[in-house]
Structure 1
Amino acid sequence: MGVGLFAAFLSIFYGLYAVGLVRVQNPTAILYVLSSLVGGNLTLVTLVITINQVIISRQLGSPGELREEIENVNEFRERLFDSEDRQVVPVTPSDFLKVVLENVRRDLQRLGGLTADAADDGLREDANRLVTDLTDHVDTVTTLIEESESGTFNTLSVLLTTNYADRIYQLRRLKSSYRESLSDEATAALEEVVAGLQETDVARQYFKTLYIQTELAYVSRVLLYAGVVSETVLLSALLVLSSSSGTTTPEALPPAVAPGLAAVGLLPLSVLFSYVLRLAVVTQRTVAITPFTTPEQEDELDV
């Protein structure tokens, strides 16, 4: 997206130059523009990298803190698969999430089987509708994971429009509405489904944390590259313009170069915009953790 935004700036500026709306004749005006871009980019790059480094520094810790974090993550992983005959728990986000969803699907089928012969027609119909809806959702998400690459963002992206708080609310409303009609086995199966969805949401939030930390580190590096290129080009143009004592743009810096310089000056902003926009979308769509939700998450379409 950053490259696309830079190309858009380049097209707009050269488009204005081509139709004659931009005429570069006074080097003094260009000096002011280039000076502003140099100072603005230095401030932008310095500020963003400083903020990112503060956030990334949270990954640092003492051996005791790191050991505690590892134990907490391992406890979470092993708790999900206590009932599974698995020697090794998957370590990649996509494989891990697929196994979690397999457990949820298994519990859903068990719940559907236990309520299929219920004497209460309302319970039978509502349970069948809910089980079918959730099973279709699990199958759809599993298919999307299998079709996508195994990266953290690809795994996270298939869950961005999923509102687990609403689905858990529907399950608990079913339990509350048919408390007398549900058997003990069906109630236990329903609670297993709820627990599975909660753990899936925890996994989603953890993957989001990993993704944001990775992106913040990456954007710092890319922004440094873009900042160095931008500042080098702009400062070179400033030196060329400063060497001229005339009132027109020197031949060493033709007027047709000015729109390109303006686009290069906005290169760091293009990079920052592309990464911050994606981070903002991910955060907005997963800001609330079960059992709560937000109006923004309510407005999203479920997978």
Structure 2
Amino acid sequence: MSVLASVLPASIVEEFGDLWESPNRWVFLVGSRPIVGVFLFLIFLFVFYALWLLNLVRLNNPTAMLYVASSLIGGNLTLVTLVISINQVIISRQLGSPGELREDIEKVNEYRQQAFDPDERDVVPVTPSDFLKRLLESIRRQLQRLGGMTSGDGADDLQRDVDEVVAELTDHVDRVVDLSEGRGTGTFDTLSALLTTNYADRIHQMRRLRSAYEDRLSDEEIDAVEEIVSKLQELDVARQYFKTLYIQTELAYVSRVLLYAGVVAELVLVSTLLVLSSSSGTTAPKVLPPIVAPAIAAVGLLPLAVLFSYTLRLAAVTQRTIAITPFTTPEQEDELNL
């Protein structure tokens, strides 16, 4: 890696570093989608050329190549049309009358007012990454406040349980802050930092703590516990909202990239079909050498590689955030699904 770091750009070195540390997480979540798509395209090339070199596939028959090209043309047209239609349905939800838009703005402002303390409301950030950091800092302060309140109670079991919950949540807050600072400021960069925990369990821990020691906690300590629960709920709301923004943005981007890949694939396939159709059976191999056929087949599957790479991450994000507090799912509990 040190040799690569001196030759390749820092962003590429970071990508391969993440791939080396956690291949599963890189492929499904944090890896660059164009790079994942290129990897899949190279796999297509390798498989097709391997089949040809092993003489398992003979490419001297123009009829078979005509059939493959025709099938890929029809399949790509259907694939691109279907994805764009789905995307248009998603984007149409963003359209609304002035009254509906005003109502949405009021609801977002109401959420921003509830998520922070009164003295912080005038300086609430507008970018997802800064908003997340400010909210996490507010949660950390409330955790420290709760820990300080119970430190002089003299009850060993209460102090032990409070310290355990506070330490666990503080570690999580610090980890999410580190993740958000180590990445970019985009919507997905912020969202990916929030996929490392299950807030339903965190809220359940706080409520279980209050239920177990309610008769021994002061009113201020109970209020502190409820404030932490409220902020964790607001954090989960932020995660779900960031997920909505990410999915809408990603689907729009996928549609555009898929159009680019679809045009290239259809151009290559239609050109191949015209060349083969205008040549006789004996001259087709000379017009279109067999060595070119695997590459043409791989290009024909280029839209599938694009769709596969982006759908993997969309599915992983949805799976990790499919339930909102106070509920959870086994998929959200299993870190290996990342």
Which category describes the TM-score, using the shorter chain as reference length?
Answer: over 0.9
**What SS does the aligned partner of 2:171 have?**
helix
**What SS does the aligned partner of 1:24 have?**
coil
Q: Could you tell me how far 1:247 is from its partner in structure 2?
A: 4.0
What amino acid is the match of 1:183? S
Which structure has the highest helix share of the two?
2
Q: 1:249 aligns with which of 274, 284, 298?
A: 284
Aligned ranges 1:50-199 → 2 under 5 Å: 50-85=85-120, 87-199=122-234
* Larger RCO (alpha carbons 8 Å, 6+ apart): 1
How well do the aligned residues superpose, as a CA RMSD in angstroms?
1.3
Which sections of structure 1, spanning at least 5 residues, go unmatched? none
Q: Choose 80-89 or 4-13, whichever is displaced more.
A: 80-89
**What SS does the aligned partner of 2:285 have?**
coil
- The reply to whether residue 281 of structure 1 matches residue 311 of structure 2 is no
What amino acid is the match of 1:44? L
What amino acid is the match of 2:50? G
What amino acid is the match of 2:104? E
| Divergent runs of 4+, >6 A | none
Output the CA distance in 1 between the equivalents of 2:294 and 2:335: 40
**Could you state the TM-score of these two structures normalised by the residue count of structure 1?**
0.96
What amino acid is the match of 2:279? S
| Deviation per residue, 1:32-68 (Å, 9 max, x gap) | 1111000111111111111111111100001111111
- 2:267 aligns with 232
Output the CA distance in 2 between the equivalents of 1:2 and 1:248: 35
Output the CA distance in 2 between the equivalents of 1:174 and 1:285: 26
Identical pairs, percent: 71
Which sections of structure 2, spanning at least 5 residues, go unmatched? 1-35
Residues 120, 181 of structure 1: 8 Å contact kept: no
What amino acid is the match of 2:162? A
Describe the shift of the 1:217–1:261 C-alpha distance in structure 2 as closer, same or farther (beyond 3 A). same
- 2:245 aligns with 210
| Deviation per residue, 1:205-238 (Å, 9 max, x gap) | 0000000000010111111111111001000000
Residues 38, 231 of structure 1: 8 Å contact kept: yes
Residues 249, 255 of structure 1: 8 Å contact kept: no
Q: 2:58 aligns with which of 9, 23, 29?
A: 23
- 1:3 aligns with 38
Residues 164, 290 of structure 1: 8 Å contact kept: yes
